[in-house]
Amino acid sequence: MTEYDAKQAAHLHPIIHSHVPSEPALRVKALETLLVEKGMLDSAAVDAWVEVYSEEIGPRTGAGVVARAWCDDAFRQRLLADGASAVAELGITGWALGNLKVVENTATVHNLVVCTLCSCYPHGLLGIQPSWYKLEAYRSRAVRDPRGILAEFHETIPDNVRIDVWDSTAELRYLVLPQKPEGSETMSEESLAALVTRNSMIGTQRHLSVGIGEVSRGRNS
């Protein structure tokens, strides 16, 4: 029989509980399980819709804001000065956008957003949070070891680039304005928006790229 190790148990206890879903999440999961058992719902379809909304549909609003800032420097300046008012110019208001701060990536600065207490997030621009954004491992390490976290997202930040970590709260949400990718000078605003990813607006992705086909489509749009 394996001996009980009190120290090991104390170490594992918070780790285990950090992965326990919230009560609303548990209720939703219970409802989904019941509907699947009764043949009224396909769990694969639910997963597919969640993925589409979190990866594609949800972040498109924020991507449009970024593309406008890339194309209109006056709008960019207003966006950096007062994010909420600037996005309201585009008819974007609502959930978690009342106090919005936009932080800009530059050649010497990279921005990373985290919520160290829970999972505060600009839903009105980015849709639902990715699952990793809610995990304690991301929330703590983004502050202690931002370069290490970014490396896990396959982003190596040079030592001469400063990393600023912004702690999102219920009162203040953040949006990263990524750098406009090289080779996109002739692209339309709509085509530029298609280059912007959700992760680039959180800060876990720094480098956006332009393919030859995208440049061609951008010129013709």
Residue positions annotated with a catalytic role: 115, 118-120
Beta strands in 71-208 (DSSP E): 100-104, 109-114, 162-167, 173-177
> Cα–Cα distances in Å, from 127 out to 124, 133, 152, 183, 201?
6, 13, 23, 28, 12
- DSSP label at 58? T
Report the distance separating Cα 124 and Cα 64, nearest Å: 12
Q: Position 23: which residue type?
A: E
Backbone angles phi, psi at 119, to 5 degrees: -155, 40
